[in-house]
Structure 1
Amino acid sequence: MLIPPDPIQRFADVFERARQAIPVDPNAVVVATVDADGRPSARVVLLKDFDRRGFVFFTNHESRKGRELLGQPFAALCFYWQPLDEQVRVEGRVEVVSPEEADAYFHSRARGSQVGAWASLQSRPLGSREELENRVEDVEKRYAGVEVPRPPHWSGFRVVPDRIEFWHARPSRLHDRHVYLRDGEGWRAQMLYP
């Protein structure tokens, strides 16, 4: 079996099949980070963009994942699309997207999500639901009738891949696994035992 030479194009092809097969959040991906002590943490986020530079998601940089990524700038992503029997794993260093990229995405979001980015002290203890609702009300009043600006603590991260693995389920657990490893400006591909 020939391994396609370009992992980004291969991802684009699989992702398009996932978008057609999965009606809700086919862009859901688990992102794993580590803290300063090497303790791992994983959660689901939504992939918002990808290209040859990497895979982008957005978050509050003061959240647990934000702090971990700023402190230990490496991450792993894991996509799993059960209807396709496909999984893609991405590993690499992390960089903050440009302010222009963050602004463009922030202003494409629904107003409620923009307000929520200001109101939520993401990952911090919350005394009550009422406390959160009061914060939302305060932000709504502050920006009544005007565009909600992007908070300075809210932006995106790009995972710049140096390893991308594709997994496709096969009978008897004899799955297809192909790994791509960064090799200068290109990629080196090889098969893996299932």
Structure 2
Amino acid sequence: MSQHHHDHAQHDHTPHDHTHAQPEHAQHDHGGHGPVSWAMAARATLHCLTGCAIGEILGMMIGTALAWHNAPTMALAIALAFVFGYSFTMYAVLRAGLDFKSAFKVALAADTVSILVMEIVDNGVILVTPGAMDAHLTEWLFWITLAVAFAIAFVVTTPVNRWLIGKGKGHAVVHQYH
């Protein structure tokens, strides 16, 4: 009997009840309530990629200049990719008036998954490309491999960012401060 009563209660809330309907555009204001455009996801990914690229190239330049082996050079490049990736987001939200601690939390929430995916993909491409790990900054192989690695990372990370923003995570956290 209670099962029948429960089923009946579900029928009271039909999709045809327009008394509580919101305008369609209101659903796009907050992450997690509406579709996220590919353009928004691509912008978030490009923003992240810029910081990562600067950090990685700087790390590779420092590692090369200090004649480090591949492993410590790559570790420094990845660490700097995170630093610069977070810094770009922090700069944007600090300008919006957040204090440093809050801006740092927003950057962690917005970029951690994005940077992680990007770094795994981009460093994976470099690792599997023959000769790329041993190529010097003056060689075309280094720059071609890096460009291809970033392009693949962008393609892989954009859908991840789209999904995260759609769930109210990732760069959706940043958008509330713009």
One fold, TM greater than 0.5?
no
Structure 2-normalised TM-score?
0.29
- Between Structure 1 and Structure 2, the one with more strand by share is 1
- Between Structure 1 and Structure 2, the one with more helix by share is 2
